[in-house]
Structure 1
């Protein structure tokens, strides 16, 4: 154990000073409460010098100038409510220039000097905490009952000007709450916000420049936020029975909520976070239970495939102090049958052909001792892909419990699709089809689609783009362009395929183009910088602009002009990325040719220059090259090739 004490008095003390500008400050205590007076011993090297004292946190809270008459001075700082959860005390002591001769080494011993020191002080006082009382109308409930919760919130230290209090309330399953490493602290806004971060104030002194001293540093790091992640409601919905992010209290800080419980038999934790418009906050909690005399729990497989033979189990518990004779009934309805004895699996699969929804049920009688589990099993076989709905009940005439549970059946085989396509002007078309010999009789099918136009069957493409969730510039542009095509092809699209914003989306998409255009005029997927420009995306954008103009949408003149300049440079200089293969380069240039030819910016020489590249192009590139050639006079021979 080490105990240090300091005694001060009149007289001079020679402190051991280290090189640099540091000033040693010794705090009397490491932490205080509101209303205390914090005291600091300053080891002052400049007797009689002026000192700047500041109280800091997120900037300067308070400052004053004082004279340090001796080498051992006490600085006192009254701890105010706004100093919670802590503060930094800074003392800067300055020695002015004095008349001293310059020594033989040309050292100016009379130059101005200063020293600075910091002391970190915690204020461990829940002064600004809101206290919350929580109570329910009962301590134990049954499933699906209505819970009434009353709240009473008030500041730990009320003021004359009382602020309104707002609550955020969640009711969390205790089994989930127990998994949180932080426990209640995970939800406590007071502990999250009222923590003392690192110092965020930087200091600067002209003396550092005046005397040529260049060593200068920031006192501490930038303060960060709480960093806590919020609970995801969608993923844990079945474990949250109530959530209200904004519950206002009355003038007395009171509020009430009602909610219906789910069917879980568990404990529930009520967590209440309270805040005011200024800086008061707090957390309250309460727990209650949901229970009943008889409990059923499912004991089912995690997944099923068609043809699986399995046991569907349900566990029954008597939660009373006396034994009970229980009648248990388990029923399964859906794509399921009772297994057939002495039948091979393949034979049973064939017997399932044509089966629809079936129902299988079984009754049991058990003597259930107190707080013991009894699992009853129902043998089943899954028929086809679909859903099985289970119902299980247990009763003894006085008490009962019922449970519903569903289980999905997945296909055993991955589907393989084979298709053929053609056009005809004849009255009859014959297509030969051969089915595999070992095909499963209850899987697959045959579908024939006939359309009087080659545009038929495009519904899937439009619905896919309508619902497409990703958003780089290529995807935004494609979605906007497809919306324009959707409007123009209404006669060929099913009536039930609705694209609500199809008329406004193309215009909005065009207006976004400038946000993805780099300084050199090319287009980028996300960040509009020259080094991120994509030649393919730039050519595709110019092509899409042509389609949208045909649909009578206005294209921004400056954006298109800069884009065309980039594409002309692409055609006449080798500015493609190194990873582009010869085939990729040829196809991208063909797309640029097609886009620019529409505006009369491509000559016969341009078409001739890239004629020899056609063999490297893919089918899309060849179609683009032909499209460009068709728009340029004097290219008949190239078109024929």
Structure 2
């Protein structure tokens, strides 16, 4: 104790001060308490305060399906602005925003929406979570009225009214009403099916009246389904407000191989009612292929050549009833990029880079769709582009940088976003100017300051800057002298970066010496290898974080050469390079088992092929084509113009093909360039074997019996309502980039989203159980939990048909992810193999075994 120093104590006391004079009270009245679907609803709103003196009040009105509202853990408190601002937070500054309370639509999966049903002879078809939304309505003197029509949901509706006035007063008012019918049918069936699934199709019938009724129920099934009797009728003697159900035993049939044949669904028509009232429901369930499909493709070109020969070898251990060979021949290169559009159109994952690449592809498709006719259909292409552009702010951080999942900024992704927005502008789509300007400001700052993440080395940084230079030059926003300023770093750029730097000079147009020098160095680094043009280089592993690949580099070179040729840059030097690059790209397509394999490679290669075809296919085709296969004449066609669609010939797999080599010969006679694609499809029989191609994945399933978790094996029979825990263990020997874990969920299960109020938080909090599971597989080895750090799996999507977990970078080690599901339907279902894969390097993957799941009542 130092008596020469003063003693003191410090502390703080919490005082919660609420001012009732700052609160607005709201009364909401509906013209009725109960409605039929489709009826008009009138809301009368009256606002009051303690002062009883209210002027004009501005309100926002939402009418939300109660089944969705009940999923929100905080209930009405989520929406109350007075509570959000009046509650005492921590000792930091806080603001209140409803945006922070949102759970994405994808998380709901339309859980609260009834997907069918109808009264009388009409079938209801308009279903929505929100019956009415008005973000801004002024109440004169605190009073107002609105009128709207209900969708076709059979549900309760929650009315939420948020109010504010010029005196900084706030408030929330709520009310509710119901939409119902005297007779109601609701489906209690799986969300989707796999071919070969055996299941009970159940539909519940509700008598909403307060008296006894004899209700006749009829159910009929059609589509990809087999059963002893596909139609069933039954009459129920039902008490008032009684619920019953009708069931039918069905088996899904095989999906037809012809992609033009529609109807990969099981369809139901259900009727229930009497002379007083009848409800009618039409419901469809999608059926997915049981066996994972594989294909191998080879591409080729006959320009000056007259013949080409290929050896076709089908694998040995494949199913005899699936697959075959297709030959497509066209006289323009654009005819081969249809697979790229198909690849991106159906791409299943959803980080910002993938959403944006898909939007660029959709915009390109709209410009080129006449080339594909009926081969590629993309009805939502325009809407997809516009919707994607509205999402920019969801992935843009306050600095202006872009993020993959809305959390961490990434400099490469930001540069790519700027480039992609410029491409979209070329196709007639404008991004939000505020978001775009914010991004461009951020990109310009990267040219001036080293504000890159710590893992970016000098080569990576200068490569990203070359992309920024090209984008800003193309957009007319690059200051004079900027291209020349970075010339000293040209040799440190990756080849991918050098192509963009070269294009920056081409677009800027005021420094031809830099353009010439960069082109000289590019040409000096070309390597001719077995007829292919290569830009060989050695890159550190860090470049994989920028989705680097030889294919993308090759295609960016073709794109740069084609654009420069179109702009008249050094045609004497460039005239030969684009054609050689195009041939190399098509040769790579020919030798690659799956050329369209990542979003980055696909989007760059489509741009490159389109640019080349527009610039260099100048000779009008006039040739005859013939082909032989299995030693016999197979195909013949004549091309007298640019055939953008091409002709296709197909042959089914024969038993003699399996494990044997067959020769395919393609011949051309006449002028022009012949492009061909040979596609072999098959289904291997080894889905019961674990695969490890650089990633190991193991799956453990448990079911809760009482208070204990029990391992689920091949003999376990589940009951409807059982809770299942799924643990996925992933082991990688060296660092991996952008790994996705994709676990298909059996059709008899429904995932349990613990973000929602209806999920059990007690069952979700089971770290001890998970630790014991992991220790069985990995012993005492260290492993990484989900969302344990940035360098683990930290983003997930729970869908009806799959659980998907995402990462951006994983160091060597062992990882654990898990989810819960509940048995919701009875039958015998297929759990297809879980997959762990690098999204931008798909040949690095691992898969689990296929499992059979049996569920009883």
Q: Where on the TM-score scale, by shorter chain, does this alignment land: which range?
A: 0.5 to 0.7
- The equivalent residue for 1:257 is 146
- The equivalent residue for 1:43 is none
Retained in 1: the 8 A contact 2:131–2:151? no
Q: Quick check: 1:169 aligned with 2:61?
A: yes
Q: How far is 1:409 from its partner?
A: 0.6
Retained in 1: the 8 A contact 2:30–2:41? yes
In structure 2, C-alpha distance between the alignment counterparts of 1:176 and 1:141, rounded to whole Å: 19
Match of 1:538 among 462, 474, 488: 462
Retained in 2: the 8 A contact 1:483–1:503? no
- The equivalent residue for 2:222 is 333
Match of 1:562 among 485, 507, 523: 485
Retained in 1: the 8 A contact 2:345–2:358? no
Match of 1:390 among 253, 258, 268: 268
In structure 1, C-alpha distance between the alignment counterparts of 2:68 and 2:51, rounded to whole Å: 34
Retained in 1: the 8 A contact 2:183–2:278? yes
The structure number with the bigger radius of gyration is 1
- The equivalent residue for 1:380 is 250
3-state SS of the aligned residue for 1:132? strand
* Structure with the largest fraction of helix: 2
In structure 2, C-alpha distance between the alignment counterparts of 1:552 and 1:138, rounded to whole Å: 57
Q: Quick check: 1:184 aligned with 2:62?
A: no
Q: How far is 1:423 from its partner?
A: 3.0
Q: How far is 1:313 from its partner?
A: 1.5
In structure 2, C-alpha distance between the alignment counterparts of 1:283 and 1:225, rounded to whole Å: 18
The correspondence of residues 36-435 of structure 1 with structure 2, limited to 5 A, is 122-159=16-53, 162-196=54-88, 221-226=91-96, 229-232=100-103, 234-235=105-106, 240-339=129-228, 360-385=230-255, 386-424=264-302
In structure 2, C-alpha distance between the alignment counterparts of 1:325 and 1:475, rounded to whole Å: 52
The correspondence of residues 368-517 of structure 1 with structure 2, limited to 5 A, is 368-385=238-255, 386-424=264-302, 443-444=322-323, 446-454=325-333, 456-458=335-337, 461=340, 501-502=425-426, 515-516=442-443
Quick check: 463-472 or 373-382, which moved more? 463-472
Q: How far is 1:259 from its partner?
A: 2.8
* Structure with the largest fraction of strand: 2
Judged with a 3 Å threshold, the aligned counterparts in structure 2 of structure 1 residues 588 and 226 are, in CA distance, closer, same or farther, namely closer
Retained in 2: the 8 A contact 1:520–1:566? no
Deviations 1:281-339 (A, max 9, x none): 11222222333332222121233112333321212233334332211111223333434
Q: Quick check: 1:599 aligned with 2:478?
A: no
Q: How far is 1:364 from its partner?
A: 1.6
Retained in 2: the 8 A contact 1:510–1:555? no
In structure 2, C-alpha distance between the alignment counterparts of 1:169 and 1:485, rounded to whole Å: 39
Q: How far is 1:151 from its partner?
A: 1.1
In structure 2, C-alpha distance between the alignment counterparts of 1:405 and 1:493, rounded to whole Å: 36
Retained in 2: the 8 A contact 1:168–1:245? yes
Retained in 1: the 8 A contact 2:446–2:465? no
List alignment gaps of at least 5 residues for structure 2: 114-128, 256-263, 383-422, 504-512, 529-533, 540-549, 562-569, 575-857
Deviations 1:592-636 (A, max 9, x none): 9989985326999x969x99x998769778998xx99x979xxxx
Residues matched between the structures, number: 453
In structure 1, C-alpha distance between the alignment counterparts of 2:479 and 2:363, rounded to whole Å: 17
List alignment gaps of at least 5 residues for structure 1: 1-17, 24-116, 199-220, 341-359, 572-584, 633-641
In structure 2, C-alpha distance between the alignment counterparts of 1:501 and 1:564, rounded to whole Å: 28
In structure 2, C-alpha distance between the alignment counterparts of 1:506 and 1:177, rounded to whole Å: 35
Retained in 1: the 8 A contact 2:227–2:249? yes
In structure 2, C-alpha distance between the alignment counterparts of 1:484 and 1:145, rounded to whole Å: 39
In structure 2, C-alpha distance between the alignment counterparts of 1:136 and 1:483, rounded to whole Å: 44
Judged with a 3 Å threshold, the aligned counterparts in structure 2 of structure 1 residues 556 and 336 are, in CA distance, closer, same or farther, namely farther
Higher relative contact order (CA 8 A, sep 6+): 2
Coordinate RMSD, CA, aligned: 5.6
Retained in 2: the 8 A contact 1:309–1:339? no
Quick check: 289-298 or 594-603, which moved more? 594-603
Q: How far is 1:167 from its partner?
A: 1.5
Retained in 2: the 8 A contact 1:384–1:409? no
Retained in 2: the 8 A contact 1:327–1:364? yes
Quick check: 443-452 or 404-413, which moved more? 443-452
Q: How far is 1:416 from its partner?
A: 0.8
3-state SS of the aligned residue for 1:279? coil
TM-score by length of 2: 0.43
Judged with a 3 Å threshold, the aligned counterparts in structure 2 of structure 1 residues 186 and 553 are, in CA distance, closer, same or farther, namely closer
